[in-house]
Copies of this chain bind each other. A is one copy, B any other.
Amino acid sequence: MNRPQVKPDGASAATHRHHGPLQYGPKRADGNTGILEKWLLKKLLELMGSPPLRFVLWDGQEIGLSAEPPAARIVIRDRGALLKLVANPDMQFGEMYSTGRIEVEPSLVALLNALYRSRMRLAPGSLRETLLNWLNRPRSNCLLRARENIHHHYNIGNDFYRLWLDRQMVYTCAYFPTPAATLEQAQVAKLEHVCRKLQLVPGDHVVEAGCGWGALALHMARHYGVRVRAYNIATEQIAYARERARQEGLEERVEFVEGDYREITGTCDAFVSVGMLEHVGVAHYQTLGGVIDRCLKPNGRGLIHSIGVNRPSLLNPWIERRIFPGANPPSLGEMMAIFEPANFSVLDVENLRLHYAKTLDHWLQRFEVAVPRVTEMFGESFVLAWRLYLAGSLAAFTAGELQLFQVVFARAGDNDIPWTREFLYKPGQGDGNL
């Protein structure tokens, strides 16, 4: 793994840089570790469900709950970092890691896998969890705030995402027909899987809510002969998508609208949203359902693709603050607040969790190759933060902490629905697109 040089904001700088296994420096100005620090770190491990991890302090001491070889070591560079970590681990691990005051060996993925596995053994709803959740509650997603939150993540610049996404810039879970498929193949297969589930026919009008860089909208127009109105509030993405439509001569068939899902107008035969719901916020689901209810024709079909969770819970607060402000993946039960009030029938739910783990594995590998360029563009702290985000997401999908739900729905009285799901798995019109 290509480790960038990081300039931490603490006093303990150069002596702790390393390549390969970490070298622990001599005893430091922070002084020796006292009984209190050791007790706090052991308590922290217990609160996390006793994962097989060890803390390594600035003076080289190791603290763990067992003598077993650990799955990973967390190296804490100074006493201030230790205290912050103990006070709010979910938030401060990311803060300290991305500023170089905490390092990890042998890899973030090994550490995070161990952490997620032990966290899942914890009982939900404990006082500690409740308090932390309240402290770290997501930001609101009113119309104005939604734009700010989305700009934070998606307007970093298309050049950054181009470095490690697939050619078509699809920034959502891919669908790997087999685990050995390439990322390029798997993203096209995902677009096809979505189009098949929507049963598109030429001439259909499609509304897409949250269209990213436009790959799905363009694919639908190109291969299924439909007309698409695709909404997004990320300015740079919309500009990129419009340029692609122009280059492909599809601007008559695909209209990219800079607008929020609440600003959708008109009617459609199919409604699709891939990777937007995570940013909507549970409190707004009924509004979203109302928008779909207003647009969808009597025989219309819909698909919502979203990161989710097994039971209502909050995203890791560091990711929510630093990477995805306002993000909040729902449980399947919470998602029903979109469909139930509007009396939609859920026809099909597919959980593609392991496909997102594989997608993230590809992204992380490509990101690591691009690290020198990303460091030039945004600096070392940005690289550490994004590595943590990608590795943390990979670990969360691998451990089953996060899910990926594709939900297909139709109006309650519509009997023009597929008889079985077998057609999804037959060679069909879209295969030439793979």
CA distance A260 to B331 in the complex (A): 29
Shortest Cβ distance from residue A355 to the other chain B in the assembled complex, whole angstroms:
8
Q: Restricting to A387-434, which residues have a CB under 8 Å from any CB of B?
A: 398-401, 403, 405, 411-415, 417, 419-422, 424-426
Query: How far is the CB of A267 from the nearest CB of chain B, in Å?
Result: 18
CB of A351 closer than 8 Å to a CB of B: yes
Interface residues of A in 249-295 (CB under 8 A from B): none
Residues of B within 8 A of A399 (CB): 412-413
Interface string of A325-346 (1 = CB under 8 A from B): 0000001110011011101111
Contacts of A412 in B (CB 8 A): 120, 310, 399-401
* Interface mask (A100-121 → B, CB under 8 Å = 1, otherwise 0): 0000000000000000010010
Q: Count this chain's copies in the assembly.
A: 2
Expressed in whole angstroms, the Cα–Cα distance for A26 and B175 within the complex equals: 70
A244 to chain B, nearest CB (A): 29
Interface magnitude class on chain A: 35 or more
Taking the complex as formed, is A132 at the interface, i.e. its CB lies under 8 A from any CB of chain B? no
CB pair B419 A340 closer than 8 Å: no
Contact flag A403-B345 (CB < 8 Å), given A350-B421, A354-B417? yes
Q: In chain B, what residue has the closest Cβ to A179?
A: B419
Q: Which residues of chain B are near A426, meaning CB under 8 Å?
A: 425
Select which of B333, B344, B345 is within 8 A of A353 by beta carbon.
B345
A314 interface residue per 8 A CB criterion: no
Contact B124 A420, beta carbon cutoff 8 Å: no
| A10 contacts B by Cβ under 8 Å | no
Q: Give A350 to B340 CA distance when docked, in angstroms.
A: 17
Interface residues in chain A, defined as those with a beta carbon under 8 Å from any beta carbon in chain B: 117, 120, 124, 175-179, 310-312, 331-333, 336-337, 339-341, 343-351, 353-354, 398-401, 403, 405, 411-415, 417, 419-422, 424-426
B residues in contact with A411, CB < 8 Å: 400
From B344, B353, B401, A310 is in contact (CB under 8 Å) with B344
In the assembled complex, 22 residue pairs joining A and B whose CB atoms fall closer than 8 Å, in A order, are: A120-B343, A120-B412, A177-B420, A178-B419, A310-B339, A310-B346, A310-B412, A311-B343, A312-B340, A331-B340, A332-B336, A332-B346, A333-B333, A336-B336, A347-B350, A348-B351, A350-B421, A354-B415, A399-B412, A400-B412, A400-B414, A424-B425
- Give CA–CA (A422, B196) in the complex, Å: 14
Q: Which residue of B lies closest to A415 (CB)?
A: B354
